[in-house]
Amino acid sequence: MPAVSKGDGMRGLAVFISDIRNCKSKEAEIKRINKELANIRSKFKGDKALDGYSKKKYVCKLLFIFLLGHDIDFGHMEAVNLLSSNRYTEKQIGYLFISVLVNSNSELIRLINNAIKNDLASRNPTFMGLALHCIANVGSREMAEAFAGEIPKILVAGDTMDSVKQSAALCLLRLYRTSPDLVPMGDWTSRVVHLLNDQHLGVVTAATSLITTLAQKNPEEFKTSVSLAVSRLSRIVTSASTDLQDYTYYFVPAPWLSVKLLRLLQCYPPPEDPAVRGRLTECLETILNKAQEPPKSKKVQHSNAKNAVLFEAISLIIHHDSEPNLLVRACNQLGQFLQHRETNLRYLALESMCTLASSEFSHEAVKTHIETVINALKTERDVSVRQRAVDLLYAMCDRSNAQQIVAEMLNYLETADYSIREEIVLKVAILAEKYAVDYTWYVDTILNLIRIAGDYVSEEVWYRVIQIVINRDDVQGYAAKTVFEALQAPACHENLVKVGGYILGEFGNLIAGDPRSSPLIQFNLLHSKFHLCSVPTRALLLSTYIKFVNLFPEIKTTIQDVLRSDSQLKNADVELQQRAVEYLRLSTIASTDILATVLEEMPPFPERESSILAKLKKKKGPGTVTDLEEIKKERSSDMNGSAEPTSVNASAVSTPSPSADLLGLGAAPLANSAPPPSSSGSLLVDVFSDSASAVAPLAPGSDDNFARFVCKNNGVLFENQLLQIGLKSEFRQNLVISSLISFLNHFLCLNLQTKPVDPTVDGGAQVQQVVNIECVSDFMEAPILNIQFSPKQEVQNIFKAKHPMDAEITKAKIIGFGSALLEEVDPNPANFVGAGIIHTKSTQIGCLLRLEPNLQAQKWLVTMDVMTENLAIDLVFLQKFSRTIGPFVAFQVANQDFDHKHSLKIFMSSSCSQVGRLAKC
């Protein structure tokens, strides 16, 4: 930089600044500023031309006033005029004023660009540096459009001075970050890579920053930079501190350049060339060795620079994840920092070890520091360090230490900071589920979690424990007993009441044999919590009560009295009132068989990603320790269970909840069929009435839904006991689409296209059918979607035994039913298997049945499979068989004119539609 001459001191500016500082009040300051602004304005508008010094002085005053927070609306042209000066100080002030006060929409931007072009073309390194600094400071899109093509040429030109190359590299980096689409890739990209070999380390440092950013977007363009970066890094780490005196910082040679080179190498996988790879390994080993050497200075700057290079080298080792020796050494080095007196070092060590724990080579080495991490969790003063300790315990957890880590997290949870309690709860729940060998331990852990931090236990956590208990037969009895004992505490968290109500409603019969947990005691225990709970929990408890009616008929009267009370039937909350009315009516008029069908146990939930893990990922964001679940390939997968407890099984006795998620919902197996007879219907719909206007005949239950879709795009289109069809509509211009759907009357006003889908839908599963519809012309009749599906022939029923469950009597009844008894067919010797043929006038129908006793609950599970496509026959014979094994009722099959569809409809109606509501709870 040229020396500033004696006359460039600008005494007037110094006096003005002194006057401002000496002002006693804000009013005095404003008065002095207004006086100076008036003086400057008169000077700029005066007839006498100002020399460069005066312009520079007055522009400096304007700049100072602006920095004090006052608006400046003049003087811009004078600043632009300073750019044409040949004096350094005048040009410098002009560029400074423009960088601070001129925006990209200014009318002067063209004049400014011309002045910058002149300075870039002058080949004067001082003026070129000022121009490049101005471009980088403004960094607007207009600047990028004007100079993005020129700056790379300056950067790679052979005669460009080192200081200008530095400025050009950083200026181009700024433009690329703001407007990457305007920076052209060309021949200069291969030449800029060779700047890594430049003799001037300042140029190398600036070029490394530029290449790292470019390589992140265009890795193939800059792949050759790997070998050059390794070569330069090797020369730095093997050099003595005296070799690079200008770039040695407290006895650490070129620490900033070393860090940048290590970051550049993290953009690529390990080098394929054995020589380059070996040289890089030597560099990393040298850095790790230097970390073990005694410090050459006691000053903090020395340790900061040394550790900065070390941590970046460890990041590269973790990124490559290919050298077991280096990974273990890095882990041991980080372990030494865990007890360092510097809080920042402890934090960084914990953070890096979280990533190391995901590597199969270093996971065991990380586990050796478990006691140190647990101690940090207990003794650290800084909450951010304690949070990293929790992350590391979560990352290093496996089956060998899961119980210890979960126990320590639970202990810490009692005193943990409120800001991280929810995250700890999610991690404890995930670890307890993921590494549970004994599911009784899992149940105990979650209940303890609710007890300690109930307010921070989200719905996903208690949903998940219910899903797992339902899917695991071996833990259901223990879960019922444990929640029953937990509910006996004087003060229970509401989440514990939810879990207890749900589990006792499903499996309370498994502990009802103990006089201490008799049905009446279970009911009284739950009802004692009823008035202390919120409305959603009360609604769940009402569903538990109606489940008790089926499980424990002896307390039916007691439950009906509760449902009949004014506090329920006249409740101010509509949901509670409706449930009480419906459940009371159901318990009064429904037969025992219907109650057993409607209120049977929830079916197992389908397998899906744990909703708790999904919530933790969402909370922490991508690229954090929660993503280690995908990295740890050797770890066990989640237990079976769905993401939501509202999922239902698509069977003959369970109704999908209308509030189920429809974003991915498809239809059951569909099949193309001939269009049904045409029926004319008006497209005009009264959207303000409760029912649809006269439209073409629709499937039962879908008429009301038709009207709703005139004013909304999403919802349930059709629903019955077997199938739920949801619709999510999006409207665009010029779309095209089709499906397994046929239109009545070969509707020519619409074009359809669909994508093929799986022809089979498993129970409880969802299939998405995308239909693109193009409206060709207007039309007056409403088109009808014709969807056909065929359910599987296998059906089941659970019913209570009305006679002693004697094996010989049961065998006699099965034989009397007309089927042959098959011995040693079922793996469970307690089950009964039969087979037979139903003879009719026109055909012979094969029939298979399996009868499974539950002696403890005094219930039967019968499964029947009739080899016909008509489900009604299955259901009719199942009804007959259930009544035969239970209370015997003569049930004759109709003659050959038997209306199967009518029978199916009657039987389904008698099954009651409350299953959907119970499943939702």
DSSP string computed for 561-590 = HHHHSHHHHT-SSHHHHHHHHHHHHHHHHS
Q: Are 86 and 120 in contact (CB under 8 A)?
A: no
Cβ neighbourhood burial of 887 (10 Å; 0-12, 13-18, 19+): middle
How many other CB atoms are there within 10 angstroms of residue 757's CB atom? 17
According to DSSP, the residues that pair with 863 across neighbouring strands are 796, 850
Whether residue 53 is annotated as binding a ligand: the answer is yes
Q: What is the DSSP string of 109-153?
A: HHHHHHHHHHHHHT--HHHHHHHHHHHHHH--HHHHHHHTTTHHH
pLDDT at 851: 86
Cβ neighbourhood burial of 72 (10 Å; 0-12, 13-18, 19+): middle
d(CA 505, CA 514): 16
Divide the 921 residues of the chain into consecutive groups of 10 and give the mean pLDDT of each group. 53 90 92 92 82 89 91 88 90 91 76 90 91 90 87 89 93 91 83 90 93 91 92 87 76 92 93 92 93 89 92 93 90 91 92 89 91 90 90 92 92 87 89 87 91 86 88 90 92 91 92 92 93 92 93 92 89 91 91 87 77 68 50 38 35 32 32 37 35 42 58 69 72 43 48 74 72 76 69 71 81 80 82 83 79 83 72 48 42 32 30 29 28
Whether residue 60 is annotated as binding a ligand: the answer is yes
d(CA 410, CA 400): 18
Considering only CA atoms, which of 361, 383, 388 is closest in space to residue 373?
388
- Residue 665, Cα to own-chain centre: how many angstroms? 20
The DSSP H or E segment spanning 845 is strand 844-854
Q: Are 201 and 244 in contact (CB under 8 A)?
A: yes
d(CA 867, CA 873): 10
Considering only CA atoms, which of 151, 208, 144, 207 is closest in space to residue 176?
144
pLDDT at 373: 92
Q: Which amino acid, 892? A: Q
Whether residue 11 is annotated as binding a ligand: the answer is yes
pLDDT at 828: 84
SS3 at position 398 = coil
Widest distance between CA atoms in the chain: 125
pLDDT at 238: 85
Phi, psi of 683 (to 5 degrees): -85, -10
d(CA 95, CA 50): 19
Whether residue 279 is annotated as binding a ligand: the answer is no
Q: Any long-range contacts for 671-678 (C-beta under 8 Å, 24+ apart)?
A: 671/740, 671/759, 671/788, 671/789, 671/790, 672/740, 672/742, 673/742, 673/786, 673/788, 674/742, 675/742, 675/743, 675/744, 675/745, 675/746, 675/786, 676/744, 676/784, 676/786, 678/744, 678/745
SS3 at position 494 = helix
- CA–CA distances in Å: residue 553 to residues 57, 516, 520, 549, 596: 98, 18, 11, 5, 11
Torsion of CA 511, 515, 517, 520, to 10 degrees: 110
Q: Are 761 and 722 in contact (CB under 8 A)?
A: no
Q: At what angle do helices 611-620 and 459-471 cross, to 10 degrees?
A: 150
In sequence order, the 6+-apart residues with CB closer than 8 A to the CB of 172 are: 148, 151, 152, 155, 183, 210
pLDDT at 790: 60
- CA–CA distances in Å: residue 859 to residues 247, 587, 848: 84, 19, 20
Alpha helices in 218-273 (DSSP H): 225-237, 255-265
Phi/psi region, residue 69 (left: phi>0; alpha: psi -120 to 50; beta: rest), is: left
Q: What is the DSSP string of 401-435?
A: THHHHHHHHHHHHTT--HHHHHHHHHHHHHHHHHT
SS3 at position 689 = coil
Structure tokens at 63: 């700049």
Q: Which residues of 709-733 are buried (b: 16+ CB within 10 A; e: fewer)?
A: beeeeeebbbbbbbbbbbbeeeeee
Phi, psi of 798 (to 5 degrees): -115, 130
- Residue 227, Cα to own-chain centre: how many angstroms? 38
d(CA 329, CA 333): 6
Whether residue 442 is annotated as binding a ligand: the answer is no
pLDDT at 814: 81
d(CA 701, CA 676): 19
In sequence order, the 6+-apart residues with CB closer than 8 A to the CB of 714 are: 662, 726, 727, 728, 729
Considering only CA atoms, which of 189, 67, 70, 84 is closest in space to residue 131?
84
Q: Are 175 and 135 in contact (CB under 8 A)?
A: yes
**Rg of the chain's alpha carbons, rounded to an integer?**
39
Whether residue 811 is annotated as binding a ligand: the answer is no
d(CA 570, CA 196): 81
Considering only CA atoms, which of 453, 454, 428, 452 is closest in space to residue 441?
428
Whether residue 749 is annotated as binding a ligand: the answer is no
d(CA 673, CA 657): 28
